[in-house]
Structure 1
Amino acid sequence: MVKAINYVKQSISRRFVVLMLSVLTLIIAGALAALWLNYTTLEQYRKIENELKRKQELVSEISYHTNQLFFRVRGYYSFKNKQEYAEIFQEKKELEQSLAAFSKLKLSPEEIELTKSIRHFFDEYFAVTLPKAVGMVERDDYDSLRKLSSSGVNQTVNELVAYANEFKKNSELELKKESEELSNVISGQGFLFLIYFLGILLAAVWVTFRVARDVGTPLTQLSSATDKIARGEHVMMPEMDRSDEIGHLSRSFHSMMVQIQTKEEELLMQNEELQAQQDELQMQQEELQEALAKTEASERYLEKRNRLIMSLANTLNKQELLTSIIHNMVEVTAADKGIIVLLNQSRDHAGFGIAPEGIRQFLDQLESGMLIRIRETLLPYQLKRKQTAGERGYHVEEAYGHDLFLPVLSAKNELIACMVLTRLGKSATEPEMKEITGLAKQISLSLEKLDMYEETEKQRQLTQDILDTIQEGVQLLNPSGVTIQVNRKMFEILGQSQPGGQVHTPHELLFPYLQKYVSEPEKMLAFITDAVIGKARSAKTFVYEVNLEQKRYIQMYDVPLYRGTDKLGTLLVHRDITREYEIDQMKSEFVSTVSHELRTPLASVLGFAELLLHKQLSPERQRKYMQTIHQEATRLTNLINDFLDLQRMESGKQNYNMTPLNLIEIVKEAIELQRVNTRLHRFVFEPKQPLIPITGDADKIRQVITNLLSNAVKYSPAGGPVEITCEEENGFVKLDVSDQGLGIPEESLPHLFTKFYRVDNSDRREIGGTGLGLAIVKEILGFHQGTIDVSTEFGRGSTFTVQLPLAPDEQRLGQEEAAVAVHPQKISTGGQIVLVEDDVNLAELLRTELESSDFTVFHFANGREAVQQIAKLQPDAVVLDLMLGAGMDGWQVISEMKENQEASRIPILISSAFEEKNKAWELGAKGYLVKPYHPKMLTEVLNVTIAKRERAGQIYVPDPDTKSDALSEEKEDDQEK
């Protein structure tokens, strides 16, 4: 026990813990005792209360069930109701349950006796009284029943009910009594708790006193001693005979105090030495601060210079560079303002701290100022001058400014710029001049680099402009397959609106775009990859299809770029071959169509010709077959003429005989020609006036109208009306040809007047045609300064509208003149004709025709022989084919005849399948007779020629459709010429 007490005394914390645990133990024990006492009192009260309430409930139930039982008995007595009788026994059962529950409670002797008497009463009632009463009711003996009821049964029941009421009152009194007793007990317990609380309070005060005495007092003594030591007083600490922390602290403090006093003298001595050292450190600190200030100044200068150098390297814009140079130079050199001027043609410049008027003045006087000295010496120069009023500001005394003129020299030691830096009140020293000159060299390098960049950029832009003018897409890839440059055409091919220029896109990144718009992206990407890596390929080009708003076909080929043996990249060239592709497609279709269009009539001609040669036929059938052969031959002739017309138009060799015409008559002629070829169509033409004058080639205008009417008939296979309207409108004649046929799809309208183009629909494939008709129509109208338009509704028909300029008033023709122009007079004569033709069959045909008109014909197939015989025969005219067989051609025959004096005046009529009108015109011709032509035309021309009887060596080249009187007029013109 003593060891435990000593162990506790050795520590303040142990003492405090033991005291607190002791007080806490007393508090907990008292609280538990108070709780237990209060709990037991309440539980006893609840138990008594519950028992009394349960008895009260059961007595009430017994009273209730008794009343109900006799209520049911009376009901049965009154009404003999079996239901009421059954309810009697139900109430009996519940009454017995309540009695059984009441008997299980803790009962007083009186209550036990009461319970027995109730049981005895009801047993006797149900065993004796109730059966008697039921029998009386069954017998309707109500007098006996009233006697039985007044025999004391009701009295017993009333007593039972009275007892129940009295028992309820007694129970309530008992509960009230128990409640008062519980209140008294709780009041006593509260008094005990107050005493307990006061005891706890006293214990706490005692613990506080002990802590203050054992801990507070020693600490106060130590604190007081510490204050005295701090004031330098001598302190004698009392000895504390304690083994706890305070005792240890007191002894340690006493020992420390002795040591402090012992070393105080040593510290005073050391303090004097430290004071001396501090003075020395102060001097060193001042030196270091001065050195630091110089270092910081150098750092700021280097930072400004670095900023200048960075600004020289961070921009390639000339104006930005000049502005950055002058700003940083003013800051680096501690100048107040400055200006830099490039000595180029545009005098690019930038200023800092100078008004715009001052800059303009400096630029205007630049060549007559200090720049002269700088050009001569190429050295910096500093000028001292008086400050201007603006520079002095509010200073009234005289002050000076220093302008430093600094040359900027190129690597070739040429002056490329001049810079002026101004300091107010301070000049530049020699070291500063050297530093500024060094900075000028940096500026020179930057300006030269900028000039090189601008020149390179000009060359690059020139190269790009050249690439952009190329009508082929150009794509440059580096050896890694990255697209580094394209031209504008390349973007157009890909459906982009960007301008050409430098890009940076690996060709693999193009694959999503290719997948979206190119028909075979995998093959195209493989071709590009092979081109980049230089893989050998069988195909040198690749054609791909771009599916944009309009489908386009692009041909791509690659060209490797080398510098020496090093491969610099690959050039991909994309050529838009859409037009060529479409023309090729149309040509393929055209060849197929023409093959059909040629073979079909030829088959008919050959077939009917064989029938005529090998079979005996009646004259009617022979005539019919000959008509068929003639029709098919005419069809072939028209087809060939279409080809030749288009070729002449495209080459610019088509000739037009422009004369005044009546468009109404030409339309009527064309309608009559078409009316013969169809029975399903009805032509509606009701002109409002008999004459609409135009100027044009009658045959070509007739060809235009015939083509439009023919198309209207062909593309309305079901028949119907073909309406033609013709009227004057604003100096033009407007001709409409409308049908109610198949119509034209909207997507075909842009290509409708393109040669070889045919609408590719199944319902049109059975309709013949070469796709040349409308192209020829447009060419003819273009020469006549006319136009053609179309309006259509698919499946409902089309309307073609032609507009031609009206003829001037002075060229209008009368109806009689037009009739004369169409129906020439025939002149019948005879004479000798030399026919030079290498085709035997054609020569025989022409001989037969001429001999039937009383001409004597001499035929020669060889040009040399013909020239010899012409000189001997001296014929009235020569009919000459230009393309002969072996030997001389037609032109050589003409040349030989012109050189022969005897044959030079004989008229020559050129008859050829080739058109050489330009060459013929050089010889004085005004027309051409083109094979095939009707033999009667040759007869008419010869009649006109011989009738004149003027042999002047004229060369007649009549147009195959030109009438006789027109030819005679041409001949007369030639003779006059």
Structure 2
Amino acid sequence: MKSFRNRLLVTILGWLGMLLAGLFTVIGQLFPMYAESGGQTRVWLILGLLFAAAMLFSAIIGHRIIKIHSLPIENVTETALELVKGNYRARAYEYSTGGTVQLSSTINVLARNLQEITATRETEQERLKTLIENMGSALIMIDRQGTVSLVNKTFLDEFSLSDQVTENKFYKEIDIPPVVEKFIDHVFMTETSARDQVSFDERLSTKHLDLYGAPVIGKHERWLGIVIVAHDISALKRLEQVRKDFVANVSHELKTPVTSIKGFTETLLDGAYKDTPSLLAFLEIIQKESNRLEMLIKDLLDLSRVEKADFQVEAKPTDMKKVIERAEELVRPRLEEKSIRLETELASVIVQGDANRLIQVMTNLLVNAITYSASETTIRVDLSQQQSEAVVHVKDQGIGIEASEIDRLFERFYRVDRARSRNSGGTGLGLSIVKHLLEAHQGRVEVESAVGVGTTFTIYLPLAK
């Protein structure tokens, strides 16, 4: 810009020099005439005034020319430098006169376009970043040198890592399970898409991951690296195992009574019905197994209903003391059969619940206590109120439960002592039904047990409003 102004100034001065040279030539021709007539002093005075006027006129014209031609170009240059620095908000002043109007307008259009492109790019980058950070799957990108270029929060949480540990590190340097590292090696070395399901031990459980890897291809088919996406499918694997166990358990539970009924029926048809004592004994067994089938089917239907997402109980103010007393009446024959004493200490507590469902809960808990208690022992039931909850304790003197098995008590078909519960006619679904019914009442159940001492089930129910 300075060189342009200098060249412009030299041009103006040259033009003024030529003007002054012509002026002095004319004066030089007239000067002898005036000098001969005795007006030499007056001539020099006139020449001085003319020179001063010429200089003033030259300065005004020069300043005007510089202002018209130099300042717009200087302003456009400064704006262009700001755009180079990344300041796309900079704008050039659009002068109304001169030949730089189109230049200023063009540079401003360029600045606006750059600003819009930058804003669009920033918006897209923010959207992409938000998508990557909040996606449910873990994601890691590795460049062609094997350096980690991008990881999302899910990946860091999945493998208990931090940004400092993974940032600009070689992927083999970060602490990830060997099976995952092996999968990354395969995708990185073959430069082809791959998918696999892997599992590895994490603390006290097994984690299952569905892995997908693909190469990242840029312009002109240039390989830029790979991207790995990992989705945790541990919950799906557990559900699949629960489904398999459920089918296997139902098949086993149905097979036993059906086999018994079929076997004794065939024996009777083969002629055993002629022997009255055998006939009565076999019919009793068939009736017992039929009752067991009926109980199993009933519990399965109940469990199916209470496990539905839209299952609700008809909650209303209910006397919990009467509920427990009714459940006691229902299990009285079982108590007398094993000579088990039932001790109760019941306060008058009104809960918000469905009386029939709560009777089912208490009956299942008492039947469970009777099943795992020896003859001539004691079962104790206490009912009290603690703050805004009703608390019921069902304590037996049974075989007890190992600490490692307590978490599995409420699984379908799970039994602490399979032989004893099966011989007593249990289905293995009672405690699972108890858990779901209490959750439907906004309540909960807790278990405390010691092997050889006994077990205490404690249920909590909200009081009536």
Tell me the distance in 2 between the aligned counterparts of 1:611 and 1:418: 104
Tell me the distance in 2 between the aligned counterparts of 1:405 and 1:586: 74
CA pair 642-491 structure 1, distance change in 2 beyond 3 A: farther
Deviation at 1:450, TM superposition (A): 11
1:648 matched residue in structure 2: 305
Matched, 1:582 2:238: yes
Tell me the distance in 2 between the aligned counterparts of 1:478 and 1:749: 49
Tell me the distance in 2 between the aligned counterparts of 1:621 and 1:728: 54
Tell me the distance in 1 between the aligned counterparts of 2:436 and 2:298: 15
What TM-score do you get using the length of structure 1 for normalisation?
A: 0.33
2:203 matched residue in structure 1: 548
Please, which of 139, 148, 165 is the counterpart of residue 474 of structure 1? 139
**Letter of the aligned partner of 1:408 in structure 2?**
T
Tell me the distance in 2 between the aligned counterparts of 1:405 and 1:527: 56
Matched, 1:773 2:446: no
Tell me the distance in 2 between the aligned counterparts of 1:536 and 1:405: 51
Matched, 1:686 2:359: no
8 Å contact kept, 2:273–2:279: no
**Letter of the aligned partner of 2:89 in structure 1?**
I
**How do 1:522-541 and structure 2 match up within 5 A?**
523-534=179-190, 540-541=195-196
Tell me the distance in 2 between the aligned counterparts of 1:718 and 1:567: 76
Please, which of 69, 79, 89 is the counterpart of residue 408 of structure 1? 79
Please, which of 454, 458, 461 is the counterpart of residue 801 of structure 1? 458
1:663 matched residue in structure 2: 320
| Unaligned segments of structure 2, at least 5 residues | 1-68, 93-106
Please, which of 561, 569, 576 is the counterpart of residue 225 of structure 2? 569
8 Å contact kept, 2:249–2:413: no
Deviation at 1:747, TM superposition (A): 4.6
Q: CA RMSD in A?
A: 4.4
1:611 matched residue in structure 2: 267
8 Å contact kept, 2:448–2:456: yes
Tell me the distance in 2 between the aligned counterparts of 1:770 and 1:616: 30
Tell me the distance in 2 between the aligned counterparts of 1:684 and 1:663: 17
**Letter of the aligned partner of 1:578 in structure 2?**
S
2:252 matched residue in structure 1: 596
1:633 matched residue in structure 2: 290
Deviation at 1:494, TM superposition (A): 1.0
**How do 1:869-888 and structure 2 match up within 5 A?**
none
Deviation at 1:576, TM superposition (A): 1.3
Number of matched pairs: 372
After superposition, what is the alpha-carbon deviation per residue over 1:512-564, rounded to whole angstroms, capped at 9, x for unaligned?
x34xxx4xx2x543332222233779x83131214236542222222343346
8 Å contact kept, 1:486–1:501: no
Tell me the distance in 2 between the aligned counterparts of 1:765 and 1:474: 49
1:557 matched residue in structure 2: 212
Please, which of 159, 170, 179 is the counterpart of residue 494 of structure 1? 159
8 Å contact kept, 1:590–1:770: no
Tell me the distance in 2 between the aligned counterparts of 1:415 and 1:736: 73
Tell me the distance in 2 between the aligned counterparts of 1:489 and 1:728: 44
Q: Secondary structure at the match of 1:736?
A: strand
Percent identity between the aligned chains? 26
Tell me the distance in 1 between the aligned counterparts of 2:385 and 2:215: 64
Tell me the distance in 2 between the aligned counterparts of 1:378 and 1:685: 108
**Letter of the aligned partner of 2:340 in structure 1?**
R
**Letter of the aligned partner of 1:609 in structure 2?**
T
Deviation at 1:701, TM superposition (A): 1.6
Tell me the distance in 1 between the aligned counterparts of 2:344 and 2:403: 31
**How do 1:779-928 and structure 2 match up within 5 A?**
779-807=436-464
CA pair 605-807 structure 1, distance change in 2 beyond 3 A: farther
Q: Secondary structure at the match of 2:79?
A: strand
8 Å contact kept, 1:491–1:500: no
Q: Secondary structure at the match of 2:307?
A: helix
Tell me the distance in 1 between the aligned counterparts of 2:345 and 2:358: 18
Matched, 1:722 2:379: yes
**How do 1:931-970 and structure 2 match up within 5 A?**
none
Deviation at 1:732, TM superposition (A): 3.7
Deviation at 1:704, TM superposition (A): 0.9
Tell me the distance in 2 between the aligned counterparts of 1:478 and 1:740: 65
Q: Secondary structure at the match of 1:495?
A: coil
Tell me the distance in 1 between the aligned counterparts of 2:276 and 2:186: 75
Tell me the distance in 2 between the aligned counterparts of 1:781 and 1:770: 19
Deviation at 1:737, TM superposition (A): 0.8
Tell me the distance in 2 between the aligned counterparts of 1:561 and 1:747: 47
8 Å contact kept, 2:138–2:158: yes
8 Å contact kept, 1:553–1:581: yes
8 Å contact kept, 2:195–2:210: no
Tell me the distance in 2 between the aligned counterparts of 1:698 and 1:380: 91
1:483 matched residue in structure 2: 148
Deviation at 1:591, TM superposition (A): 3.0
8 Å contact kept, 2:340–2:375: no
Deviation at 1:736, TM superposition (A): 1.0
Tell me the distance in 1 between the aligned counterparts of 2:88 and 2:181: 55
8 Å contact kept, 2:264–2:286: yes
8 Å contact kept, 1:594–1:770: no
Deviation at 1:651, TM superposition (A): 2.9
Deviation at 1:766, TM superposition (A): 6.3
**Letter of the aligned partner of 2:254 in structure 1?**
L
**How do 1:23-102 and structure 2 match up within 5 A?**
none
Q: Secondary structure at the match of 1:505?
A: coil
Tell me the distance in 2 between the aligned counterparts of 1:569 and 1:779: 50
Tell me the distance in 2 between the aligned counterparts of 1:632 and 1:664: 34
What TM-score do you get using the length of structure 2 for normalisation?
A: 0.65
8 Å contact kept, 2:264–2:282: yes
CA pair 735-803 structure 1, distance change in 2 beyond 3 A: same
1:505 matched residue in structure 2: 169
Deviation at 1:783, TM superposition (A): 2.4
Tell me the distance in 2 between the aligned counterparts of 1:379 and 1:707: 95
Deviation at 1:717, TM superposition (A): 6.0
Q: Secondary structure at the match of 1:740?
A: coil
Computing the radius of gyration from Cα coordinates, the structure with the larger value is 1
1:700 matched residue in structure 2: 357
